């Protein structure tokens, strides 16, 4: 869903909640609006988390009273238009004055008197009906309030404690929080200072930058990273066991542990206010005003422990496989290349689609590329996860499952917080890296076969 559509739904549900109309119309919208009940419920849940102190039950009661008054005014206006009712303030003067001002020299006839008497009787009956109607509506509102209080005290009837259900539908009206009277906690002045310093766009206006200005510098960083990854693959030499810092630790564990430590350090840095401005520039990419260095740094950035945990859990089994197959240098090259390509792919998509408020960060682009490369290298072999070999499942099968799952999620697009362009770009980069490694391996094997006879002849001579 586009951010503008989501904000539109939030505004509509926020109005219904504040006005009290939630008790009447609930989360239903016309079909032509394109807003489903599920979307409206999610928007309502989000609004409730942002403002838990608002009393929806009281707002609903006020809405019901205002609706009663509105309907009453409509009935009175229609009755006046039909000529069967006239407001008391606009009634004619007493009979004595009207008879005195009449120009009829014969006086008032018996028919006129009968007509006036009938009109007075009808008006009296209408008045009594209106009073009875008001009384019924007042009793109805009082019953609703009493029912709401009863449901609040015995919330087990709906199996959702703390909520009041509208009698018109099954939409629950949330009660205010128990400690809603407490004032909200404000940031300390020194934190506000660093928050203002970290704000890149001060006036909340999208900078007037060309597409080349937004994508060009990041493209140069991408090319530099890819060149460095190629050099790392070609020139890296593993250190001897005596030169390693932890000689007893497997190289794959040491490499993956270092990547995890870097990710965790960046996660902690996001919680240090003096670093916020640097973090915004270096460890995330925003389509409105991108910084080129963020194309490389964003793949190490996580702002929630859940995000960091999921990416770490997915990295270790497949990263271990790839590291054991190709070595540390090639593994790091694949990891960095896939992460950078994925971040740049996300940036390019958001810029071309003019989604200026979208931003990208996280190691998922690098992780999914690593998974794709590991599966493609073992395309015809079984996959081994943390020392356990999965029977009858080849790497190509796992790659197909991963690719199909990501494409399906991107096509459905329900979770708008997931960076699908970045995932697919990282996946494509991992596939290309896997093909390149397989090609290099095949070429080196053929080279060894060609030179083996020559070496044997020289040895015999």
Compute the distance between CA of residue 440 and CA of residue 230 in angstroms, rounded to an integer: 12
Q: What is the pLDDT of residue 231?
A: 95
Query: Length of the chain in residues, anyone?
Result: 461
Q: Two tokens at 74?
A: 């409509």
Instruction: Give the whole-angstrom CA distance, residue 440 versus residue 178.
Output: 65
For 286-297, give the secondary structure using H, E and C.
ECCCCCCCHHHH
Q: Is 365:388 a contact under the CB 8 Å cutoff?
A: no
- Quick one: CA torsion of 71, 22, 6, 367, rounded to 10 degrees? -170
Nearest-angstrom CA–CA distance, 350 and 359: 8
Q: What are the backbone dihedrals phi and psi of residue 186, each rounded to the nearest 5 degrees, phi first?
A: -100, 155
Question: Residue 393 CA to chain centroid, in angstroms?
Answer: 35
Structure tokens at 124: 């009296």
* Model pLDDT, residue 275: 94
List the one residue out of 171, 187, 182, 183 whose CA is nearest residue 48.
171
127 forms beta bridges with none
Helix (H) or strand (E) run with residue 360 in it = strand 359-360
As a whole number of angstroms, the distance between CA 45 and CA 433 comes to 43
Question: In terms of Cα–Cα distance, which of 383, 277, 363, 280 is closest to 322?
Answer: 383
pLDDT digits (tens), the chain, 461 positions: 667 778 888 888 888 888 888 877 888 888 777 788 888 888 888 888 888 878 888 888 888 888 888 887 887 777 777 767 666 654 444 444 444 444 455 555 555 666 677 778 778 887 888 888 888 877 877 776 666 556 555 444 444 444 444 444 445 555 555 544 445 567 788 888 888 888 888 777 888 899 999 999 999 999 999 999 999 999 999 988 888 888 889 999 999 999 999 999 999 999 999 999 999 999 999 999 999 999 999 999 999 999 999 999 999 999 999 999 999 999 999 999 999 999 999 999 999 998 888 889 999 999 999 999 999 998 887 776 666 677 778 888 889 999 999 898 888 766 567 888 999 999 999 999 999 998 887 766 655 554 444 344 344 33
* Predicted pLDDT of residue 457: 39
- Can you tell me which residue has the tokens 């300390």? 188
CB 56 within 8 A of CB 62: no
The number of beta carbons lying within 10 Å of the beta carbon of residue 191 is 13
Residue 154's SS3 state is coil
Query: How high is the pLDDT of residue 73?
Result: 81
Q: Identify the structural domains of the chain with CATH numbers, from first to last.
A: 3-90+108-174 (no CATH), 195-453 (1.20.1540.10)
pTM (predicted TM-score)? 0.60
Residue 264 three-state SS:
helix
Residue 18, token pair as written in the block? 């504040």
Question: Which residues touch 157 (CB under 8 Å, ≥6 apart)?
Answer: 151
């Amino acid at each position: 869903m586009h951010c503008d559509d989501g904000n539109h739904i939030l505004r509509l549900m926020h109005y219904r909640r504040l006005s009290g109309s939630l008790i009447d119309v609930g989360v239903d919208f016309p079909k032509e609006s394109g807003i489903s009940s599920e979307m409206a419920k999610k928007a309502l849940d989000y609004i409730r988390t942002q403002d838990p102190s608002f009393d929806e039950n009281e707002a609903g009661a006020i809405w019901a009273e205002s609706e009663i008054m509105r309907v009453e005014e409509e009935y009175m206006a229609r009755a006046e238009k039909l000529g069967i009712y006239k407001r008391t303030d606009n009634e004619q003067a007493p009979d004595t004055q009207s008879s005195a001002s009449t120009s009829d020299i014969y006086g008032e006839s018996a028919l006129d008197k009968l007509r006036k008497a009938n009109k007075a009787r009808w008006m009296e009956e209408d008045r009594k009906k209106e009073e009875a109607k008001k009384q019924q509506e007042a009793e109805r509102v009082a019953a609703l309030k009493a029912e709401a209080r009863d449901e609040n005290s015995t919330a087990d009837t709906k199996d959702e404690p703390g909520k009041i259900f509208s009698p018109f539908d099954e939409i629950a009206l949330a009660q205010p929080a128990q400690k809603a009277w407490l004032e909200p906690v404000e940031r300390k002045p020194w934190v506000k200072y660093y928050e203002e310093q970290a704000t890149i766009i001060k006036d909340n206006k999208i900078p007037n930058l060309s597409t080349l200005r937004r994508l060009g510098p990041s493209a140069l960083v991408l090319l530099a990273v890819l060149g460095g990854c190629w050099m790392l693959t070609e020139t890296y030499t593993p250190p001897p066991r005596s030169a390693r810092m932890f000689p007893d630790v497997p190289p794959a564990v040491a490499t993956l542990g270092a990547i995890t430590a870097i990710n965790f350090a960046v996660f902690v840095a996001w919680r240090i206010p003096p670093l916020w401005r640097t973090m915004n520039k270096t460890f995330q990419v925003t389509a409105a005003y991108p910084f080129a260095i963020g194309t490389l740094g964003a793949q190490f950035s996580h702002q929630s422990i859940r995000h960091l945990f999921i990416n770490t859990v997915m990295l270790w089994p497949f990263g271990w496989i790839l590291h054991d197959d190709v070595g540390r240098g090639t593994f790091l090259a694949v990891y960095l290349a896939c992460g950078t390509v994925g971040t740049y792919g996300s940036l390019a998509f958001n810029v071309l689609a003019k989604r200026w408020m979208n931003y990208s960060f996280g190691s998922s682009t690098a992780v999914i590329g690593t998974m794709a490369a590991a599966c493609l290298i073992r395309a015809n072999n079984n996959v081994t996860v943390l020392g356990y070999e999965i029977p009858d499942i080849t790497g190509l099968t796992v790659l197909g499952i991963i690719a199909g799952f990501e494409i399906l999620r991107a096509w459905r697009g329900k979770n708008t917080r997931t960076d699908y362009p970045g995932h697919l770009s990282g996946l494509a980069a991992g596939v290309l890296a896997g093909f390149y490694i397989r090609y290099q391996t095949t070429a080196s094997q053929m080279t060894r076969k060609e030179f083996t006879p020559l070496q044997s002849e020289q040895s015999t001579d």
